[in-house]
Structure 1
Amino acid sequence: MERIKKIFRLIHLSLWGLFTLLVGLQLGGEGEAHWLAKTTGFVATCIYVFYSHFHLLTRYTGKKKSERYVRSLVAILLTGPLPFLLTHHEALNSGSLFMEYYLMTLISIVVIFIFLGWLARVTETLVLNTIRKEQLEKQAAEAELQSLKAQIHPHFLFNTLNNIHTLVYKQAPTAPEAVQQLASLMRYMIYESNAPTVPLAREMDYVRDYVSLQQLRYKQRPVVDLQIEGETEAYAIAPLLFIHLLENAYKHSPARLEPGDLKVRVSIHEGTLLFRVQNPIGKRTAQSLEEPGGIGLPNVRKRLALLYPDQHTLTLQHTGETFTVLLTIHLHPAQAHERKADLLYH
């Protein structure tokens, strides 16, 4: 905000400098004997009237201060012509000539610069209020985004710990491996995903690790058919966008899954990411995917609206036997430091 105010000050100085130059050239070109003094008086009158009204509008705003504003405005009108008249020696030597110059200055200069002072004050206020509103909206959006993101950690941890608890209860030999994988995933979620964007390749590694962790629940061959196509190293994405979609696919599938029942497709083509997850429908209906208290798809929708406004589509398809979520996002190229960071993980 302070930077915008500095820009306005520079604009004021530049315009007044140009205005003074033009007035001086005009009076000097007409052969005025005292053109320098008259230029000084003329510009002084303009500046006095302009900024007196400009700051008056700042101090006396609101219904309670309207009387003070009117009295001060009348004082500016009455005293406005004086700086200009003091440089006109011929006007000071004649009372009638003084009044003639006074009225002429009042009408042709004072009234105009009172209006210009009002216009400048309104313009600056409008611009500053607009910027302030945008900053507040941005802060609110960032706070909401952090709140939505914070919901991911306990939700994911709660579900995964339940799965590990089952493995421990059954004394499954895969339980220690599950704990180790969970620690790796939590490290990514707590530390690496704090950035606004992460390398898409790193996010895809997180998806693979999550699928591997979930696979520990099943004895048969991989129940998820995961395919990733395209150049993931060239793009960046907001972290943790796909976790809820995968969780829903597991949560709302039948208890028993055959190999390849869950199909996950990720493709990147010309800067557009297509994420498609399909799962068979269990006993719950598709409507229960957004049951009260759930934070899955509503969370994803809100985050997408904040992170990728007008740059994404989210489509749900229900055939009766399968439920499909189709997400497209227009990606941003990864910055050099993001690509370098991505290399550290391999």
Structure 2
Amino acid sequence: MQRVKNIFRLVHLSSWVLFTFLVGLQLHTDGQSYWLPLTIWFLVTCLYVFYSHFYLLTRYLGKNKKRAYFLRLAGIVLTGPLPFVFFHPKKLNTWDLFFEYYAMVLISIVPIFLFLSWLARVTENLVLNTIKKEQLEKQAAEAELHYLKSQINPHFLFNTLNNIHTLVYKQAPTAPEAVLRLASLMRYMIYESNAPTVPLTREMNYLQDYMGLQQLRYRMSPVVELEINGDPTSCQIAPLLFIHLLENAYKHSPARLGPGDIKVKVEIKTDSLTFHIQNPIGKHQNKVIEEPGGIGWPNVQKRLHLLYPGRHRIEIENSGETFGVRLEINGTHAPIHERETHLLHH
């Protein structure tokens, strides 16, 4: 905001310097022997009218104080020509000559600079108010993103602690390993996921850690078949974006899963990323995506809308036996702060 105000000040200064040069050049070209003092007092008159009205508008523009405004405006109009006529190099020693020059400035100069000051004030207010509005919208969007991300930790922790509780209750030997894996996951969530984007490789490592934690519940080969096509090191992604989709795949699958029943495929192309996940549907699953009161799936949708407006596409696949989600995101090779400028326009 301060930078914009400084730009306006520079525009004011540049405009007045250019205006002074043109007036002085014109008077000098006309052969005026006293062109320099005439230029100075003409400029002083213009500055007085312009900035008196400019700051008057600052105080009263858009406020219900019309009477006070017009009284002060009348004062500016009546006193506007005085610097020019009082200090005119040509001695105005008669009332007729004095009022002639006074009326000339009052009619020809004062209205022009009153209008220009109004135009300048309205333009500055419009620009500054637009910037303020955009900043407030951006702050609101960032606050909502922060809120959505803050929901992830307790939601994830609640589900994982339930799983660890089951292992401890059964006195499973894998319980200590589960605690260590949870600590690793929480370290990423607390310390590394605060950045706007993270490398896709780090996010995939996080998902694989989560898969390893869930795998402790199963005695057979890995129940998740993970396939990554493309170069994940070239891709940046918003952190903690896929974890809910993976959680839902576990939660809404049958209690007993065979090797590779849950399929995760990540495909990286030029400036785009496709994340596809598919799981078998458990019996009596009326709501496959999210249980009543769940926050995972709506959370993903809101974050996608805020972070990738117009740059993502979600496809739901439900065959009755399997359920899949295909998420395509464009612009994954650009830093997130460049994409956040789009938040204000969506």
TM-score (norm 2): 0.92
1:127-276 equivalent positions in 2, closer than 5 A: 127-276=127-276
Q: Hey, what's the Cα distance between the residues in 1 that align with 2:328 and 2:310?
A: 11
SS for the counterpart of 1:241 is coil
State whether structure 2 residue 19 is matched by structure 1 residue 19.
Answer: yes
Q: 1:316 Cα deviation (Å)?
A: 1.7
The answer to whether the 8 Å contact 2:273/2:332 transfers is no
**1:76-87, aligned counterparts within 5 Å?**
76-87=76-87
One-letter code of the match for 1:8? F
Q: Counterpart in 2 of 1:3?
A: 3
Q: Distance in 1 between matches of 2:86 and 2:329?
A: 69
Mark the CA change 1:227 to 1:142 in structure 2 (over 3 Å): closer, same or farther.
same
Partner residue in 1 for 2:44? 44
Asked if the contact 1:235/1:331 (under 8 Å) is kept, the reply is no
Residue of structure 2 in register with 1:316 after alignment: 316
Alpha-carbon contact 2:313-2:329 (below 8 Å) kept: yes
Q: Which one-letter code corresponds to 1:312 in the other structure? A: H
Which stretch of the first structure deviates more once superposed, 91-100 or 308-317? Answer: 91-100
| 2-structure distance, mates of 1:95, 1:89 | 16
C-alpha distance in structure 1 between counterparts of 2:43 and 2:211, whole Å = 75
Q: Deviations over 1:254-294 (max 9, x none)?
A: 11212111110001011211000111122344645244411
Q: Say if 2:199 and 2:237, in contact at 8 Å, map to a contact too.
A: yes
Identity of aligned residues (%): 67
- Counterpart-to-counterpart distance in 1, 2:284 and 2:77: 78
SS at match of 1:289: coil
1:341 maps to none
1:84 deviation in Å? 1.9
Greater CA deviation, 285-294 or 167-176? 285-294
Question: 1:24-103 maps to which residues of 2 (within 5 A)?
Answer: 24-90=24-90, 92-103=92-103
Q: Give 1:315 deviation, angstroms.
A: 2.1
How far apart are residue 332 of structure 1 and its match?
4.1
Structure 2 SS opposite 1:276:
strand
Aligned-partner SS, 2:289: helix
- The whole-number CA distance in structure 2 between the counterparts of 1:265 and 1:281 is 18
Contact in 1 for aligned 2:37/2:89 (Cα 8 Å): no
Identify the residue that residue 344 of structure 1 maps to in structure 2: none
Once the two structures are TM-superposed, the CA of residue 225 in structure 1 deviates from its matched residue by 0.9
Tell which deviates more after alignment, 250-259 or 121-130. 250-259
Contact 1:266–1:274 (8 Å) recurs in 2: yes
The 3-state SS of whatever aligns with 2:282 is coil
Shift of 1:117: 0.6
Number of matched residues?
Answer: 335
TM-score by length of 1: 0.92
Give the whole-Å Cα distance in 2 for the aligned partners of 1:291 and 1:111: 69
| Alpha carbons 1:236, 1:331 under 8 Å: kept | no
Matched residue type, 2:85: L
User: SS at the partner of 1:92?
Assistant: coil
Tell whether the 8 Å contact from 1:253 to 1:282 is kept in structure 2 after alignment. Answer: yes
Amino acid at match of 2:159: N
8 A contact 1:225–1:261 mirrored in 2: yes
Partners of 1:41 and 1:86 within 8 A in 2: no
Instruction: State the Cα distance separating 1:334 from its structure 2 match.
Output: 7.4
| Cα distance in structure 1, aligned partners of 2:7 and 2:89 | 39
Q: Deviations over 1:304-325 (max 9, x none)?
A: 1111122212222222222111
| 8 Å CA contact retained: 2:264, 2:278 | yes
Cα deviations across residues 192-237 of structure 1 (Å, max 9, x unaligned)? 1111111111111111111111111112211111111211112221
Q: Give the superposed CA RMSD.
A: 1.7
Specify every segment of 5 or more residues in structure 2 that has no aligned partner in the other structure, as ranges: 336-346
